[in-house]
Amino acid sequence: MSPKRLKNIRILLLGAPGSGKGTQTSRLLKDFRQVSAISSGDLLRQNIKDKTPLGKEADAIIKSGGLLPDNKIISLIETELKSREWLNSNSSWLLDGFPRTFGQAEKLDLTLEKNDADLNLVVELDVPEQVILDRIENRYVHVPSGRVYNLTFNPPKVHGKDDITGEPLSKRPDDNPEVFKSRIKNYKDLTLPLLEHYDKKGIVFSIKGETSDIIYPQLKDLILNKFAL
């Protein structure tokens, strides 16, 4: 199907680690060409690769399954929003992985409101925890692009290599069962309550499913129903 034109759409994708935020984002970007995306995790992994001061701090925190301090991640994302010129009412974009605490959400809301660029859709990917655990151990990533693979679900065409660039894939150091436990706990304690916060604005939708193939058509329909021109 040809890509559809949309009204300006500013989406936040929420979901537990491994729920498929990156996977759904890649699919959306293919179907809706006017939308661009920022993944906070991808930005941090690029900083780690580039050995920036933020990357050095993020490295240990990510490996332990903790969260970066709010002020550091807010500054990273707000700089990115400004440099991409997304802080205006004509922008269409998606955020994956930010905000994930109340402090982050509050600051983002303020910045967006000031610039007439409020979020207009928050989608929760609701995937059972035991399904997610299996995926994590088989995940490989291409750090420069954020493309994700899974050895059973969407393996690379050539083992260990990115499909587009042919560059090597890597394992994430936080993709192991112990660290995963604290990532899930952080999600439940700190990020899930954001659903209630955004629900007060009437923009929250939850999509439940055991696979990304079940979730994606529902996500696409939701967007078309709400935003197609």
Told to check if 61 binds ligand G5P by CB under 6 A, we report yes
H-run or E-run covering 14? strand 10-15
Q: Give 193's contacts (C-beta < 8 A, 6+ positions apart).
A: 102
Q: How far is the CB of 155 from ligand G5P (least distance, A)?
A: 9
DSSP codes, 31-59: H-TT-EEEEHHHHHHHHHHTT-HHHHHHH
- Confirm or deny that 139 is annotated as ligand binding: yes
Per CB under 6 A, the list member of 12, 94, 121, 148 interacting with ligand G5P is 148
Which among 2-10, 65-73, 85-93, 199-207 is the span making contact with ligand G5P, rule CB under 6 A? 65-73
- CA of 149: how far to CAs of 124, 128, 163, in Å? 21, 20, 10
Over its C-alpha atoms, the chain yields an Rg (Å, rounded) of 17
Residue 44 interacting with ligand G5P (CB under 6 A): yes
What are the angstrom distances between the C-alpha of 12 and each of 55, 66, 100, 105, 172?
24, 21, 10, 11, 23
Q: Is 75 labelled as part of a ligand binding site?
A: no
- Helix residue ranges per DSSP H, the chain: 21-31, 40-49, 53-64, 70-83, 102-114, 129-137, 177-186, 193-199, 212-227
**Which residues 15-44 are close enough to bind Mg ion by CB under 5 A?**
22
Q: Which of 27, 139, 161, 220 binds ligand G5P (CB under 6 A)?
A: 139
Nearer to ligand G5P, 8 or 190 (CB): 190
Q: State the nearest-atom distance from the C-beta of 191 to ligand G5P, in Å.
A: 8
Binding residues for GTP: 18-23, 139, 148-149, 212
Binding site for ligand G5P (CB under 6 A): 15, 17-23, 40-41, 44, 61-62, 65-68, 73, 97-100, 104, 135, 139, 148-150, 152-154, 174, 183, 211-213
Binding residues: 18-23, 40, 45, 66-68, 97-100, 104, 139, 148-149, 172, 183, 212
Binding site for Mg ion (CB under 5 A): 22
